[in-house]
Structure 1
């Protein structure tokens, strides 16, 4: 199955991806991690495609403002269309402050969660190893805090061409971990990942992306669209999907070893081409709700994920869901009422 995944990866790297043309007219879009790389290019596409407001959610405001100027220059759209807001996913208070500000927006049509970190050094951020804090806990903390705003937008503007979107930028590397930490006692997977003495940082980015996939699938399953729930369309549903942008030239793996850098030299997509997968997910239809997207189409998840659902009653899904939910409730009591 690993060989099949590798073949899919190689074939995908040379797949021609459609250039984004779907309009974002009147929409408000937030893109995290958007001062560079995939997030920057995705924000530029959304601005070009007539979004009413594109918010660059960034850790470094100077770099964010430089990105804002570059997007305005490239698209010719000025006058406050692009805004720069501070967001540090290594801080729960920063995430909560950002969400409180976003809740005051007149509408929110797309939350495109692109920000993430990858790198071997072990360090703590809040109460977890930093990769887990940034890529998993804070990502879903922000998503759940803003889910009511997305749902409200769907209710208020139910004559728009499509429902609001919560998009998680995951990765095909979720195929390449077996999550050995799942052998931990019940309720202790995250605690085991936080143990510096046993942490396998070479596998940590893969693990974080697997946790994203598992949690997003459960989140979507517990947030059915109105059409799926048998109700009238457009009554506040939110399309939740997650995607693999492929191997791209970006700053994400700037701490990578020579092997990955050489692979990127040979195979990586340009940053702009990779960003097309983000924009596709942010404008895709209801058929993508709960689905994993790769090469701008619905694709298969890893056997560890699919077999867990089909053969074992979703035990791993449930364990990951329960542990992350407990952590989110400790950070923001009552957050799960936002479902």
Structure 2
């Protein structure tokens, strides 16, 4: 795996890959890579217009066309209705999904709520992806490739500052924007690992594996949006400097997700950058913090998520 790059990705002709947040940052770079290998990439975007612009950019950069196909569709993870509509449309038009990349997210924003009344970071980063995965799971099971279908869930090194306080998951008592982000990223890991445990426990072989990853410090517009949301002009300046000095580019930051989606990794693996402090460099299989492997917290979060979204897997 040393020095792994997209040059080592296998061809994906005939495969369907769904990427949330595909119009910018890591999702954009992952979409470009999947399409260059021949996949049909369903670009699940909150804004169809921005998604279409991103697809046009990928085609333009490739000389007018890509090896695969780009299918832009609306999917607002802050709306369970939008998630359900997206999943139905996909089931109507596709027989199977080979890879689902739960990539989109928001980071350290002021407290607000989703359309369904969830604290936004938990609602978008975890609950929206939980509902999406559950709704698309029959399409993942239906995939008939040479390898298992995969669910890849993007977490963050910030999961280490997360805490699953089940008495106030929605931060109604008090709110810490970075604590809420850390919790949502810890929730991503609980979900990814618990999904694999449930797949393993199923009576029949399902042909699906769940893998988690994190990009390290990748300089994307996610940090800049966080700075803008702070309302402090200095924050944007500091974030730009930090991105320039410490961040790696989005192309490199997307490598853990791409390796988790296409590389030789087991279900339940955690793929991260292998360089300095696991914040930079080529992807490697590592280990998230001890809290992320807490079985009771994972079970409780799953039960909460089922009740909150009204969606569950039937394995």
TM-score range, shorter chain: 0.7 to 0.9
CA contact (8 A) 2:131 2:309 kept: yes
- Determine if the alignment matches structure 1 residue 278 to structure 2 residue 252: no
2:271 counterpart residue number: 293
2:100 to 111, 131, 136: 111
CA contact (8 A) 2:98 2:149 kept: yes
1:142 counterpart residue number: 132
1:50 to 38, 57, 62: 38
Q: State the shift of 1:325 in Å.
A: 2.4
Q: State the shift of 1:260 in Å.
A: 4.9
CA contact (8 A) 1:56 1:85 kept: yes
CA contact (8 A) 1:249 1:268 kept: yes
Q: Tell me how far apart the structure 2 counterparts of residues 262 and 282 of structure 1 sit (CA, whole Å).
A: 31
2:297 counterpart residue number: 316
Q: Tell me how far apart the structure 1 counterparts of residues 71 and 262 of structure 2 sit (CA, whole Å).
A: 21
Q: Tell me how far apart the structure 1 counterparts of residues 193 and 177 of structure 2 sit (CA, whole Å).
A: 25
Query: CA 1:80–1:288 in 2, change beyond 3 Å: closer, same or farther?
Result: closer
Q: State the shift of 1:18 in Å.
A: 2.2
- Determine if the alignment matches structure 1 residue 124 to structure 2 residue 113: yes
| 1:1-339 alignment, distance < 5 Å | 16-20=3-7, 21-51=9-39, 53-76=40-63, 77=65, 81-104=69-92, 105-125=94-114, 126-153=116-143, 157=144, 160-177=145-162, 179=163, 182=165, 189=166, 192-224=168-200, 236-254=206-224, 255-256=226-227, 257=235, 260-285=239-264, 287-295=265-273, 296-306=283-293, 308=294, 314-329=295-310, 332=311, 335-337=312-314, 339=315
What RMSD in Å do the two structures reach over aligned CA positions?
A: 2.2
- Structure 2: tracts of 5 or more residues without a match: 228-234, 274-282
Q: Tell me how far apart the structure 1 counterparts of residues 173 and 201 of structure 2 sit (CA, whole Å).
A: 43
Query: CA 1:305–1:220 in 2, change beyond 3 Å: closer, same or farther?
Result: same
Query: CA 1:164–1:175 in 2, change beyond 3 Å: closer, same or farther?
Result: same
Normalising by structure 1, we get a TM-score of: 0.80
Q: Tell me how far apart the structure 2 counterparts of residues 54 and 336 of structure 1 sit (CA, whole Å).
A: 24
Q: State the shift of 1:74 in Å.
A: 2.3
CA contact (8 A) 2:36 2:67 kept: no
Q: Tell me how far apart the structure 2 counterparts of residues 67 and 262 of structure 1 sit (CA, whole Å).
A: 26
Q: Tell me how far apart the structure 2 counterparts of residues 244 and 32 of structure 1 sit (CA, whole Å).
A: 15
Q: Tell me how far apart the structure 1 counterparts of residues 68 and 290 of structure 2 sit (CA, whole Å).
A: 45
Residue aligned with 1:115, SS: coil
Normalising by structure 2, we get a TM-score of: 0.86
